[in-house]
Structure 1
Amino acid sequence: MKSAFAENRPFLMISLLFGISYYFACVLNTPELPEPLIVLWKGAGVSFLAIYALVRLHRLDGKIVGAFMAFGALGDMALEYDMIIGAGAFMVGHFLAIAFYSRYRRHKLGFSQKLFAILLVPLSIGIAWALPSDRGSALTIALYCLSVAGMAAMAWTSRFSRYQVGAGAILFLVSDLLIFARMGPLETSIIPDLFIWPFYYFGQFMIATGIVRTLRHEMAADSADPVHA
């Protein structure tokens, strides 16, 4: 138990340190630091979640989860330089996550849960399309939203905890919708600045830890070793 904590928990602690400190130092304030350093600071939080997944899951699952977390971190950093490249990195991560969740589909879904997942994608796309003031970008934004909404719907219908992985994916989706709202009705509002990063980062944190915890417990079913995410 002590070995697991010493070797693996620090990656979560370092991730939290970077993720939370970035919000207070770089989102709510304007630090007098070189831009490349701020960009690396931004990407570090989710980068350490990728490392955490790779270390805790010594199999293909860990590589896949680590990969879509890594593309998220890459997207975080690339957005500071180019929106198209950043969105492209996120989309690759979303498609990897969709493929991953499809391997872990929940066999039985309640009617309300199934209805929620079915409606989530078209409603999210419709909202994303309606938000930007620049109507020329509406279609591109809607197409991007298809990937993140599809990821969230697949996470919600997977057999991972809805209260952790499913809710984390929904937070991720909401953070993106707030970005789109900042291009339109919330352009002058403080709301996006306050909530985009916390929703995104803690959504990713919930996804990574929820997946690792579930799969680690399943791996422990064949052994008597205690498991800690």
Structure 2
Amino acid sequence: MKSAFAESRPFLLLSLLFGISYFFVKDSNIPGLYLMAWKGAGVGFLAIYALVRLHRLDGKIVGAIMALGAIGDMVLEYDLMLGAAAFMAGNLLAILFFSRFRRHKLAFSQKMFAILLVPLSMLIAWTLPSDRSDAVLVSLYCLSISAMAAMAWTSRFSRYQVGLGAILFLISDFLIFARMGPLETSIIPELLVWPLYYFGQFMIVTGIVGTLRHEMAADSADPVHA
């Protein structure tokens, strides 16, 4: 247990170091390439954490999801469409991943929340841009992130860690869209977009890894699987 913690701790600490500190340096005079790498390192180290802690296909998939997020973080600084494409690819991969871990029993309220989350999110996203020519593209992008959040919410991973992390990720995107419209001159997106996004990703990956490692440990201790 101790060696496993020592094995993963540097990557989580490095992720937190870069992820938290980026918030304070993002508007500084650091040269663009260095700042881009700084931004990507926060979620990039989460990708490495998943690969190190899950020595199986699931670790590779979660690592790829986080790596696509890190690529999106960096590319977004130079090309909005390419950055969005990287995030969409990560969201689609996450949807496929969560579909393998569906929760068998859902309360009616939780089921309705997941069903309504996607259309309501797309509607909200569609209303936000002031330039109405952007509304359809923003709404279509929101389809991927809201579907990912709905799948995370209905998966058997912790709803209050993985599910909530996905919702935080979705809210951060709403604030980005709102910056294209009603919150264009507001400081709220500037203050909240990055913390909601980064800690949402942090909650998702640590929740997935923690659950799967616990299950792996339980299986290895089960005489039937020994």
- Superposition TM-score tier, normalisation by shorter sequence: over 0.9
Offset at 1:5?
2.2
The question of 1:67 aligning with 2:64 is answered yes
Distance in 1 (CA, whole Å) between partners of 2:166 and 2:48 is 19
Paired residue for 1:106?
103
Question: Could you tell me how far apart the structure 2 residues matched to 1:148 and 1:5 are?
Answer: 31
Query: 2:19 matched to which residue of 1?
Result: 19
Partner residue of 1:142?
Answer: 139
Q: Please report how far the alpha carbon of residue 7 of structure 1 lies from its aligned counterpart in structure 2 after TM superposition.
A: 1.4
Alpha-carbon distance in structure 2 between the residues aligned to 1:119 and 1:84? 27
Alpha-carbon shift at residue 139 of structure 1 (Å): 0.2
CA shift at 1:174, angstroms?
A: 0.3
- What's the offset of the Cα at 1:10? 1.0
TM-score where L is the length of structure 2: 0.96
Secondary structure at 1:223 match in 2: helix
2:44 and 2:111 mapped to 1: Cα distance? 32
Name the % identity.
76
| Deviations, residues 89-111 of structure 1 (Å, cap 9, x unaligned) | 00000000000000000000000
Q: 1:129 aligns with which of 107, 126, 129?
A: 126
Deviation, structure 1 residue 223: 3.0
* Counterpart amino acid of residue 150 in structure 2: A
Residue 7 (1) aligns with residue 7 (2): yes
What is aligned with 2:224?
Answer: none
Residues of 2 paired with 1:33 and 1:211: CA distance?
34
Rounded to whole Å, the distance in 1 between the matches of 2:108 and 2:170 is 22
The TM-score with structure 1 as length reference comes to: 0.95
Separation in 2, partners of 1:167, 1:21: 23
Q: RMSD across aligned C-alpha pairs, in angstroms?
A: 0.7
- Given the alignment, which residue of 158, 170, 182 partners 1:173? 170
Structure 2 residue aligned with 1:83:
80
CA apart distance, 1:31: 1.7
Deviations 1:149-178 (A, max 9, x none): 000000000000000000000000000000
| Secondary structure at 2:29 match in 1 | coil
Query: Hey, what's the Cα distance between the residues in 2 that align with 1:178 and 1:126?
Result: 14
Among 206, 214, 217, the residue aligned to 1:217 = 214
Cα distance, 1:80 vs structure 2 = 0.2
In structure 2, the partner of 1:227 is none
Q: After TM superposition, where is structure 1 displaced by more than 4 Å over at least 4 residues in a row? A: none
Give ranges in structure 2 of 5+ residues lacking alignment.
222-226
Name the residue aligned to 1:164: 161
Per the alignment, residue 151 of structure 2 pairs with: 154
Query: Aligned partners of 2:55 and 2:109: how far apart in 1?
Result: 35
Distance in 1 of aligned mates of 2:24 and 2:35:
12
Query: For residue 184 of structure 2, what is the aligned residue in structure 1?
Result: 187
Alpha-carbon deviations, 1:74-98, whole Å to 9, x = none?
0000100000000000000000000
Could you tell me how far 1:24 is from its partner in structure 2? 1.5
